[in-house]
Structure 1
Amino acid sequence: MTVELSPDDATDPGLSPLRNFGNEVMLERMRMNMSRVELGRAVACGESLVAKIERGDRVPQREFAEGCDRVFPHGNGRFMRLWRLALRYAYPPWFRPYVALEEKATALRMFNPVLVPGIVQTRGYATAILKEGRPMGLEDLVTSRLERQRILEREDPPRLWLVLHERVLRNVVGTEEVMREQLVRLLQIAETPTHRVQIIRDDGRQHGPVGSPFVLMSFDEGADVVHVDGFPRGYVLAEQEDVTDATDAYDLLRAFAMPLDESAELINSVLRDCYS
């Protein structure tokens, strides 16, 4: 049995963005005398998920918000606007500045010596990575990570350049099927004309001056910034000296890496030999 909020409770302006989104869904549904089952059918999800979203217990996917704007009269894009705010607050506070910058970037230059970066992770790979930390709200974390990838589907997507260590291809994350799907995705990125993927061979030696994942972000206006992954949280650096050092380090990493065609061939080879 679930208990719905009264309209007075639901319009509390102090509610979180996620709770506010859910309450707006509930209020519109009640105005239309529509059950959760009926709304679920209209937006292609189950009754239990509708209930969780209305309570603010789950981050809705974009398709849910789009469906609400379509189903409810006078939606006028309101649920997509509320969804964007709710999604932003689904990220940890320290990560929100990075997400805002990533959305505005025209170019992303990424290095990772261990994992496929989140911007191109498959659902299975992201789930396997995130659940290792035994977090609360695993599905919400996966949804938030996958939504970041929408920027690569824009008409003007940022140019993506990935430099990865060969260990990224061979370290099994999740199951072999998860790895197969992930390497297929990585190969698709490598074969996209606007993107670049280079692999640093694992020959037993240390290549490059850094061992931590980092991202260089460029914009139409303003200077480049760098985001460094770390534990327990990452951080953004905007000082010119730091950005220059990161740029020099990335140039060296690209020089150590295999050419683009050879990198794609290696991904395909590992995919065929290890995960077929």
Structure 2
Amino acid sequence: MTIETVSDDASDPSASPLKHFGNEVKLERERLGLSRADLGKEAHCGYSLVAKIESGDRVPPLSFAEACDRVFPHSNGRFVRLWPLVIRYAYPPWFRPYVELEQKATLVRMFNPKLLPGIVQTRDYAEAVLRTARPTNLEDLVTARIERQRILSRDDNPARLWLVLNEAALRNPVGESQLMRAQLDHLRELAETPRHRVQIVPERKVNNLVVSPFGLLSFNEGADVVHVDGFPRGYVLAEPDDVAEAQEAYDLLVAMAAPPDETAELIQSIAKDCYS
């Protein structure tokens, strides 16, 4: 996952949306006579991050764009409007169509046998997972992954989540025990949120039905689509037969899993057994 550029000149502000965003921040900051430290204070980040965003070397979180619109007079929401284009280019080309669909979804159904999916990962868990591939732009990858989660808490029609996991995904240690406790606490909070559903397939049930992660997206208008995670890349399916097969598999996983009202207790038990 890399930030795309379309120019050989790394200093060219038109080289990419990221470069353009950073250059606009720098122009407005210098016009006001603000230091990078001053802007960082307003955006609740450090001098170094401001410098990297201005040079087009880091993807800004949405909160940074919101701070720019708050600090810079007459921006009229320009930086928040630019931000979706910037974050889009933080994803690889093959993943962008899925992210755009995910942002429009009203219901997100996911299954994962071994890991918690990105849409529910804490920052530390995401960083630990992504670090295993030894990327050169780890911070950008983490930012992009965490920003996807906004669909679950947005003010306008937040998406509902229905997550089915093998119990092995909760027992699979990613990082230190403290990291896993925080991640399971977050998962439990989602499980206890009325509009969401989290179900666990107990270890005593051998789940050979599906061995790879996949998900279904539903919308207010239009047919469902399927996303299949894989290596080296995932893919989106929209053919009715493929979607119907995925829906049937998901229904069987739901039937195999423990009821949603047992999830919080199970998460607590696993946290105590494995990560205390």
Task: Please give the TM-score of this superposition, normalised by the length of structure 2.
Answer: 0.93
Q: Please give the residue correspondences for 1:140-155 in structure 2 after superposition, counting only pairs within 5 Å.
A: 140-155=140-155
* Structure 1 equivalent of residue 274 of structure 2: 274
Q: Please give the residue correspondences for 1:231-250 in structure 2 after superposition, counting only pairs within 5 Å.
A: 231-250=231-250
CA–CA separation in structure 2 for the residues paired with 1:32 and 1:63: 20
Q: Please give the residue correspondences for 1:217-228 in structure 2 after superposition, counting only pairs within 5 Å.
A: 217-228=217-228
Q: More displaced, 175-184 or 253-262?
A: 253-262
* Structure 2 equivalent of residue 94 of structure 1: 94
CA–CA separation in structure 1 for the residues paired with 2:207 and 2:66: 48
Structure 1 residue 159: Cα displacement: 1.3
Structure 1 residue 202: Cα displacement: 1.2
* Structure 2 equivalent of residue 261 of structure 1: 261
Structure 1 residue 162: Cα displacement: 0.6
* Structure 2 equivalent of residue 4 of structure 1: none
CA–CA separation in structure 1 for the residues paired with 2:271 and 2:125: 15
Structure 1 residue 10: Cα displacement: 11
Residue 203 of structure 2 corresponds to residue 202 of structure 1: yes
Partner SS state of residue 93, structure 1: coil
Equivalent residue pairs, number: 267
CA–CA separation in structure 1 for the residues paired with 2:11 and 2:135: 30
- Please say if residues 207 and 256 of structure 1, whose CA atoms lie closer than 8 Å, have aligned partners that are also in contact: no
Residue 183 of structure 2 corresponds to residue 182 of structure 1: yes
Q: Please give the residue correspondences for 1:36-185 in structure 2 after superposition, counting only pairs within 5 Å.
A: 36-155=36-155, 156-185=157-186
Partner SS state of residue 206, structure 1: coil
Aligned CA distance change for structure 1 residues 76 and 11 (closer, same or farther; 3 Å): farther
Structure 1 residue 28: Cα displacement: 0.9
Unpaired runs of 5+ residues, structure 1, are 1-8
1:36-72 CA distance string (max 9 Å, x none): 2222233222222111101000111111111111111
1:141-177 CA distance string (max 9 Å, x none): 1011111111111232111111100001111001111
User: Structure 1 residue runs of 4+, over 4 Å off?
Assistant: 9-13
CA–CA separation in structure 2 for the residues paired with 1:10 and 1:269: 51
Partner SS state of residue 130, structure 2: helix
Structure 1 residue 241: Cα displacement: 0.5
* Cα RMSD, aligned residues only: 1.7
- Please say if residues 13 and 23 of structure 2, whose CA atoms lie closer than 8 Å, have aligned partners that are also in contact: no
Structure 1 residue 12: Cα displacement: 5.7
Amino acid at match of 2:162: W
1:180-223 CA distance string (max 9 Å, x none): 00100111111111111111111272342x21100100000000
Aligned CA distance change for structure 1 residues 161 and 33 (closer, same or farther; 3 Å): same
Task: Please give the TM-score of this superposition, normalised by the length of structure 1.
Answer: 0.93
Unpaired runs of 5+ residues, structure 2, are 1-8
Structure 1 residue 77: Cα displacement: 0.5
Aligned CA distance change for structure 1 residues 204 and 252 (closer, same or farther; 3 Å): closer
* Structure 2 equivalent of residue 6 of structure 1: none
* Structure 2 equivalent of residue 27 of structure 1: 27
* Structure 1 equivalent of residue 5 of structure 2: none
Identity among equivalent positions (%) equals 66
1:63-122 CA distance string (max 9 Å, x none): 111111111111110011112210111111111111101110010110000001111100
Structure 1 residue 248: Cα displacement: 0.6
